[in-house]
Structure 1
């Protein structure tokens, strides 16, 4: 880990982190930020369950503003419009919100209200009487950046940044398909670090006048202690790793496996609301398909699984993605991937290191692809494994990516 030390303090806006669930991949990035910044203040704006918390370094302080401990009622939201900055933002954006009906207006009001609350907390409880030039502001999600954008509007010299992933930039993933004040935030933030080229191009098409503020800064994973080994017993071992929700389309994967002729062992790592349904569906799979569910595993346990077990392919059939870190982890262990071409997945998966398939691929077609992969000569499979590892080392090595990112926002 190589980084440049700064005496500045970082204010990091998260969804729930360091509280569970979610944002698992921020843990690794935070280690690099801790190496760079003198102190880190984390504000988890949507945390409600404070019973489970990740371990943090001593230089990290977690702030839980009282106003974020509970949902703000309508009157509280309307109060955010009583001061000029919040009111101006609301009025300027209102024509766009109205296009999406009452829900659009309600979403805008909630965003402005939360932004004002966050602005007031940072200015009153963290900045206080200190010199604001001692701080850097960074939102891990673009949708959580309105509050620090308000602060930037008042303090033009203050460095303010945001990442952009998937659901926080792609409107079509939301109902209604509307993410308020994107134009305003893009105009104010010093730089927006997108985790994929797809995300950068998407945002650039919406805000072409600010395209110079958009840059790709990829996520990454650590180099494992050893690589995963392939199967040699005639069984093809597939692994998927995700929260068990509809967007991951595990039901589709079960249907695909039902058509496969090869001997396949599928292991799913993860838990979630669809687990019981999927466990019921796999009961009807033919005898050539064996299924295992590990339940939820910590990140280090996932990597340990790859190092201690044989895995031939990682599979991801999601209908939507930002850029899947789960595939980066597999590649770091030399496991090739089969994945749907959604979001930035095509920047990871290609014909050398795996198989990229259409989002709307038919189950029978994907089953034939799995059977064909299972029957390939071992030499061809080994070349795919080598290419997967090379892709990780070139593009998704955490030490390279996070060192560069921390240095950029800390200078």
Structure 2
């Protein structure tokens, strides 16, 4: 089987660690021909299995300059979707017109790239083109699917799904691209329901497929009652609402003088310095460390070598965070809001605590105290690992996913 796997940047950079987990599963499959086609390139590159190929041709092409964006915007005028989406924006989301222009320009850019990438004389009927993000790259491939006769599958997560994550609640183009794709996989049942309710995909096209993480074969130990070590892992941007987590820790340190609080955050982003400058004088009683972006193995080493009591996610929007699955695999209980597919992995007061969707720092503070005062923390840890092992173990989920891909290849 031949798969062309289109990513944002993997195997470059430190992001998209969830793809790395999936790739580890594919390394075990014989006669599997995978070509990675990232759209962006970073200096750091992960090592790939010797049998896999890396094609950097897409990452070398850019649609970044103003002149380039205008050029491809003008080229998009020949596509019917330009006028359908333009009228939709003008009548429903006029303030989002600039975002429409960027999106349709990218759409035309990717069509031009793939027209040169594929050879009309070749037979692609047994080739799976697999896009890890459901964005303009996927739309361009849907536009070209029957011309080149490849099979097309895609995953959809959070930012590429939820209109609420976008400026003006505007998701460009997606509403028009509900056909010419073999399968679209949501990362959870909840996100599958959102997909069905908000877009026009036929039921037989959409499905859900959980991501998976490896079993570290190690359960982290807990601290004594006078210490609390909390870990969080996310990009530092507004949607992740780290301010809620920080404020809850500040008030917890004031309220619970009997406990020494440690906080470790993994991930980076444009709000980091702003958050540090805003809260550093109030975090005097909290020992905190920003570790930045790290290789996945370094995060696993940290979980293995340290006593960790809680993992906290305080986002306002999520699909199904791989960071939560990784924490559970180490037996770390989780506090997180009931958004996206999180309720499918966190069972309230069993392996963690679910916050209401529109939570604030008081809600999070209350949840942390419930956990602190619970006498059965060992049960929380045991249930965390069981949830991971039963539903989110790497080999379990990717073997199911791969069987679905094999079925698609065999279809006429």
Which TM-score tier does this pair reach, normalised by the shorter chain?
0.7 to 0.9
| Deviation of the 1:34 alpha carbon | 5.0
| Deviation of the 1:397 alpha carbon | 0.8
8 A contact 1:114–1:147 mirrored in 2: no
1:9-30 Cα distance to aligned partner (Å, 9 max, x none): 2122222222225322111212
Structure 1 residues 192-201 or 87-96, which shifts more?
A: 87-96
Q: Provide the C-alpha distance between the structure 2 equivalents of 1:35 and 1:150, rounded to a whole number of angstroms.
A: 33
Partner of 1:270: 267
Partner of 1:364: 362
SS at match of 1:203: helix
Match of 1:187 among 171, 179, 202: 179
Q: Provide the C-alpha distance between the structure 2 equivalents of 1:343 and 1:106, rounded to a whole number of angstroms.
A: 28
Structure 1 residues 89-98 or 29-38, which shifts more?
A: 29-38
| Deviation of the 1:161 alpha carbon | 0.8
Partner of 1:39: 33
- Residue-pair matches, total: 394
- 1:306-385 aligned at under 5 Å gives the runs 306-351=303-348, 352-377=350-375, 380-385=376-381
| Deviation of the 1:279 alpha carbon | 3.2
TM-score norm. by structure 1 comes to 0.88
Q: Report the CA distance shift for 1:109/1:284 in structure 2 as closer, same or farther (over 3 A).
A: closer
Q: Provide the C-alpha distance between the structure 1 equivalents of 2:362 and 2:176, rounded to a whole number of angstroms.
A: 46
Q: Provide the C-alpha distance between the structure 1 equivalents of 2:21 and 2:169, rounded to a whole number of angstroms.
A: 32
Partner of 2:13: 20
Question: 5+ unaligned residues in a row in structure 1: which ranges?
Answer: 1-5
Q: Provide the C-alpha distance between the structure 1 equivalents of 2:106 and 2:284, rounded to a whole number of angstroms.
A: 51
1:123-180 Cα distance to aligned partner (Å, 9 max, x none): 433445421124111111111311110122435x531111010110111111132223
Are residues 1:152 and 2:145 paired?
A: yes
Q: Report the CA distance shift for 1:135/1:35 in structure 2 as closer, same or farther (over 3 A).
A: farther
| Deviation of the 1:120 alpha carbon | 4.0
8 A contact 1:186–1:192 mirrored in 2: no
The Cα RMSD (Å) is 2.4
- 1:199-214 aligned at under 5 Å gives the runs 199-207=191-199, 210-214=202-206
Q: Provide the C-alpha distance between the structure 2 equivalents of 1:175 and 1:189, rounded to a whole number of angstroms.
A: 27
Q: Provide the C-alpha distance between the structure 2 equivalents of 1:385 and 1:20, rounded to a whole number of angstroms.
A: 32
Are residues 1:393 and 2:389 paired?
A: yes
Q: Provide the C-alpha distance between the structure 1 equivalents of 2:378 and 2:226, rounded to a whole number of angstroms.
A: 15
SS at match of 1:162: strand
Q: Report the CA distance shift for 1:298/1:123 in structure 2 as closer, same or farther (over 3 A).
A: same
Q: Report the CA distance shift for 1:94/1:34 in structure 2 as closer, same or farther (over 3 A).
A: farther
Q: Provide the C-alpha distance between the structure 1 equivalents of 2:19 and 2:337, rounded to a whole number of angstroms.
A: 24
1:229-255 Cα distance to aligned partner (Å, 9 max, x none): 111352122111122222222222121
SS at match of 1:133: coil
SS at match of 1:25: helix
Partner of 1:169: 161
Q: Provide the C-alpha distance between the structure 1 equivalents of 2:27 and 2:97, rounded to a whole number of angstroms.
A: 39
SS at match of 2:167: coil
Q: Provide the C-alpha distance between the structure 1 equivalents of 2:383 and 2:81, rounded to a whole number of angstroms.
A: 48
Q: Provide the C-alpha distance between the structure 2 equivalents of 1:204 and 1:56, rounded to a whole number of angstroms.
A: 36
Match of 1:242 among 234, 243, 257: 234
| Deviation of the 1:69 alpha carbon | 6.0
8 A contact 1:323–1:345 mirrored in 2: yes
8 A contact 2:161–2:195 mirrored in 1: yes
SS at match of 1:80: helix
| Deviation of the 1:298 alpha carbon | 1.3
Q: Provide the C-alpha distance between the structure 2 equivalents of 1:290 and 1:245, rounded to a whole number of angstroms.
A: 22
Question: 5+ unaligned residues in a row in structure 2: which ranges?
Answer: none
Structure 1 residues 34-43 or 9-18, which shifts more?
A: 34-43
8 A contact 2:73–2:108 mirrored in 1: no
8 A contact 1:100–1:176 mirrored in 2: no
TM-score norm. by structure 2 comes to 0.87
8 A contact 2:178–2:201 mirrored in 1: no
